[in-house]
Chain A
Amino acid sequence: MADFPGARLHVVTGKGGTGKTTVAAALALALASGGKKVLLTEVEGRQGIAQLFDSPPLPYEERKVAVAPGGGDVYALAIDPEEALLDYLHLFYRLSPNGIPARTLRRMGAIDFATTIAPGLRDVLLTGKVKEAVVRRAKDGSPAYDAVVLDGPPTGRITRFLNISHEMGGLAKVGPIKNQSDHVMAVLRSEQTVVHLVTLLEEMPVQETLDGVAELTAAQLPVGGIIVNAVREPLLPLPDLLAAEEGRLDVAALAAGLKEAGLEADDSLVSALATEATDHAHRVALEERGRDSLGDLHRPSYELPLLTQSVDLGSLYRLAELLHEQGLA
């Protein structure tokens, strides 16, 4: 049983460099496994999904990028504010994207203007498109997608990005855009949505995660799980680990052990290896402290290992499997 059974929109955020796009893609695969249909979206114009799946840049079109384990499809969409606005006009006002009004808007630079002068509007359009995919129905009335995964903006900006009614509040108090932002907000705040935070066990990403959770909570946005990425197993036996951390690794025992292994353990080799072990112990201790701080959040948490090779489709499947085993999907 998955930890978030009611969730249909999974927003994935994380500090830059934590691997949030990789995790979002793995989560999409995990959610799709066993014959489901999942849409993976991005909104920052980075084409991160295309790079990950090694495909050409995504057009503004839902396109199949991967088949999940046990059948199931992952589609991807890079959402662009201009296209999203034209979509919105088409959906709500029956304005064809190629009709005169839409073309005039483009020619005038109106779309650029509108999204520039009111960045909140840009976010309404982007989240609006995501919401549309979440609530979309197929011809038979069933949901078009079983789940939607959004590779969102980084932790520092996610609350502002999702909290669109607040951002739009000062600008449009009534009118169609206000209605749209209210509808989107209702979905974002509902049980259909969860926001997962990706972190590493390093000081800054952990701190940003704690801050991010506090901000999301204050904005009444639903916090999902904490995904700890790039975890490395401590290799040293625990007593040695503790000793190394305190700077009293048993160098003599190490030297004896190296000789036993048939190595020429001269002093410089032994002390260099001991330094490496001590570095490792310090890092493990720091990671443990990070893990403790994250534990104080009392949120479901998931761990993914450090990938020793660069990310390919095979490793995405492996990460997806791990997320599935740990109950995220």
Chain B
Amino acid sequence: MSALDIDATIDGARILVCCGAGGVGKTTTAAALALRAAERGRRTVVLTIDPARRLAQSMGLSELDNIPRRVTGVDESAGGSLDAMMLDMKRTFDEIVLTHAEPAKAEAILANPFYQALSSSFAGTQEYMAMEKLGQLQASGDYDLVVVDTPPTRSALDFLDAPQRLTTFLDGRMIKILMAPAKAGGKAYLKVVSAGFNVFTGVIAKIIGASVLQDVSQFVAALETMFGGFRERAQATYDLLKAPGTSFVVVAAPERDALREAAYFVERLADERMPLAGLVVNRVHRSEVTSLTAERSVAAAQTLESAGGSALASAVLRLHAERVWLAVREQRMEARFTSAHPGVPVVEVAAQPGDVHDLDGLRAVGADLAGGSAAARSA
């Protein structure tokens, strides 16, 4: 197993995408990487999706307003800086509509109930908008490095598929059918439909109701002018993810499900020829006490207990044994990953008793992440 050189990664990348299963500390990892990059001299922005409240506060983020804000308390002596922003999915979508459609049409789109549902909860909207925003931040030229934390989705891969899914959706036959009446103009609706799709629309109307169908049709027609733009942007975003300077960091915890998800992700990135920097394993338990095995520790605890000896010492010994067992189990989980993916560099971050919610905490995580760099250099 090779060590992941975090400093080389953050010094060299222009876009860093952190991905992985939910609940593995992805947001914290993204923030720690961004802070470290900034303090190493890079103008950095971190785009987070749904940070825990206290972590957001530590970076001075109080609202979802889509505007990158300077984080104070960062050491800028090396010439770098750190901005942070939280993604406002709906606002990002609205902005695209306003940019791409003429004002009257934009109004109609924004007011349509289907647009409102789509822009706030389309499966994939959040992912798509995160990628969209990523492109915007990168294109602004204000930053050397954009760090993005991917949304906590059902599957860690959703954001990769979102642009493609939106494109497929827009190219779908349904859209074309629904657009036909608008093109033919109002009343011609039924005529066009009955030309070949009566069975089909009959069913649709049964399911969702005829008036809803009309709403959908209007919405789709209103969106039509933007489709070209959408498709191009989806493609551009996808290309950006494959461009030189983009790097993916897969985040996991030493647990079966998280590592399985990580393995899946690593394979998928390889399929898509997207550049993987390596795997970060968070919340790793290790014991510093290598001279005392779990078995010996338990035996010693038993000696004390049967002799009515020090309750403190026997408790500490049992604690140590548990910790060693946990470490062994975690190492076994990780070994399963590394033997299947021997080429993937890995770095471990030690488990902390509490969550991180200030810059010092993030700095410590960053140093821990870079601990692997020192090892990599000496190897």
Are B300 and A279 in contact (CB-based, < 8 A)? no
Are A277 and B316 in contact (CB-based, < 8 A)? yes
Are B320 and A261 in contact (CB-based, < 8 A)? no
Are A261 and B117 in contact (CB-based, < 8 A)? no
Q: Any chain A CB within 8 A of the CB of B118? A: yes
Are B204 and A263 in contact (CB-based, < 8 A)? no
A15 to B258, CA, bound (A): 13
- Surface stretch bound by A, among B16-24, B37-45, B57-65, B100-108: B16-24
Given A122-B123, A203-B354, check contact A261 B314 (CB 8 Å). Answer: yes
- Name A78-132 residues within 8 Å CB distance of B: 85, 88-89, 93, 95, 100-101, 104-105, 108-110, 112-122
Are A263 and B122 in contact (CB-based, < 8 A)? no
* From B177, B199, B212, B325, contact of A100 by CB (8 A): B199
- Name A235-263 residues within 8 Å CB distance of B: 235-237, 240, 250, 253-254, 256-258, 260-263
Nearest residue, chain A, Cβ from B219 = A117
Chain B, residues 278-321, CB within 8 Å of chain A (1/0): the string is: 00000000011101100010001101100101111111111110
A167 to B317, CA, bound (A): 55
Are B317 and A172 in contact (CB-based, < 8 A)? no
Q: Any chain B CB within 8 A of the CB of A269? A: yes
Given A170-B117, A256-B310, A276-B319, check contact A46 B154 (CB 8 Å). Answer: yes
Given A261-B304, A261-B317, A263-B292, check contact A254 B199 (CB 8 Å). Answer: no
Are B313 and A167 in contact (CB-based, < 8 A)? no
Are A119 and B122 in contact (CB-based, < 8 A)? yes
Are B354 and A286 in contact (CB-based, < 8 A)? yes
A145 to B353, CA, bound (A): 43
Nearest residue, chain B, Cβ from A249 = B312
Are B325 and A308 in contact (CB-based, < 8 A)? yes
Query: B122 — which chain A residues lie within 8 A by C-beta?
Result: 116-117, 119
A118 to B125, CA, bound (A): 12
Q: Any chain B CB within 8 A of the CB of A272? A: yes
Are A260 and B309 in contact (CB-based, < 8 A)? yes
Nearest residue, chain A, Cβ from B166 = A116
Expressed in whole angstroms, the minimum distance between the Cβ of A252 and any Cβ of chain B is 11
* From B52, B301, B312, contact of A207 by CB (8 A): B52
Query: B172 — which chain A residues lie within 8 A by C-beta?
Result: 109, 112-113
Query: B154 — which chain A residues lie within 8 A by C-beta?
Result: 44-46, 153
Query: A203 — which chain B residues lie within 8 A by C-beta?
Result: 52, 54, 354-355
Nearest residue, chain B, Cβ from A113 = B174
A259 to B88, CA, bound (A): 60
Are A253 and B155 in contact (CB-based, < 8 A)? no
Q: Any chain A CB within 8 A of the CB of B207? A: yes
A235 to B350, CA, bound (A): 22
Query: B215 — which chain A residues lie within 8 A by C-beta?
Result: 171
Are A177 and B209 in contact (CB-based, < 8 A)? yes
For the complex, count residues of A whose C-beta is within 8 A of B: 78
Are A240 and B312 in contact (CB-based, < 8 A)? yes
Nearest residue, chain B, Cβ from A260 = B309
Expressed in whole angstroms, the minimum distance between the Cβ of B51 and any Cβ of chain A is 10
Are B23 and A18 in contact (CB-based, < 8 A)? yes
Are A118 and B114 in contact (CB-based, < 8 A)? yes
Q: Any chain B CB within 8 A of the CB of A219? A: no
Are B22 and A260 in contact (CB-based, < 8 A)? no
A16 to B322, CA, bound (A): 25
Q: Any chain B CB within 8 A of the CB of A318? A: no
Q: Any chain B CB within 8 A of the CB of A202? A: yes
Given A105-B203, A110-B204, A156-B152, check contact A175 B52 (CB 8 Å). Answer: no
Query: A189 — which chain B residues lie within 8 A by C-beta?
Result: none
Query: B304 — which chain A residues lie within 8 A by C-beta?
Result: 257, 260-261
Are B117 and A235 in contact (CB-based, < 8 A)? no
Expressed in whole angstroms, the minimum distance between the Cβ of B3 and any Cβ of chain A is 24
Chain B, residues 143-187, CB within 8 Å of chain A (1/0): the string is: 000000000101100000000010001001111010000000000
Given A261-B309, A282-B353, check contact A117 B114 (CB 8 Å). Answer: yes
Are A108 and B312 in contact (CB-based, < 8 A)? no
A101 to B287, CA, bound (A): 63
Are B312 and A253 in contact (CB-based, < 8 A)? yes
Expressed in whole angstroms, the minimum distance between the Cβ of A93 and any Cβ of chain B is 6
Nearest residue, chain B, Cβ from A154 = B22
Query: A16 — which chain B residues lie within 8 A by C-beta?
Result: 21-24, 152
A46 to B260, CA, bound (A): 12
Are A235 and B315 in contact (CB-based, < 8 A)? yes
A156 to B316, CA, bound (A): 38
Given A117-B118, A276-B319, check contact A250 B292 (CB 8 Å). Answer: no
Are A17 and B255 in contact (CB-based, < 8 A)? yes
Expressed in whole angstroms, the minimum distance between the Cβ of B52 and any Cβ of chain A is 5
* From B173, B203, B258, contact of A109 by CB (8 A): B173
Query: A272 — which chain B residues lie within 8 A by C-beta?
Result: 287-289
A156 to B152, CA, bound (A): 9
Given A108-B173, A176-B207, check contact A261 B312 (CB 8 Å). Answer: no
Q: Any chain A CB within 8 A of the CB of B228? A: no
Are A172 and B209 in contact (CB-based, < 8 A)? yes
Q: Any chain A CB within 8 A of the CB of B121? A: yes
A203 to B21, CA, bound (A): 18
Instruction: Given contacts A113-B172, A176-B207, A273-B316, list 9 more A-B pairs with CB under 8 A.
Output: A116-B123, A174-B209, A177-B209, A240-B315, A261-B300, A261-B301, A272-B289, A277-B319, A308-B329
Considering the complex of A and B, which 9 residue pairs feature the smallest CB-CB distances, nearest first? A257-B313, A16-B22, A175-B209, A17-B23, A257-B310, A16-B23, A113-B174, A261-B300, A282-B353
Instruction: Jot down 28 A-B pairs with beta carbons below 8 A, ordered by A.
Output: A15-B23, A100-B199, A108-B200, A109-B174, A110-B204, A113-B172, A114-B204, A117-B118, A117-B216, A119-B122, A120-B117, A167-B117, A172-B209, A175-B210, A177-B207, A178-B209, A203-B52, A203-B355, A235-B319, A235-B322, A236-B312, A240-B311, A254-B316, A258-B313, A261-B303, A273-B289, A273-B320, A280-B319
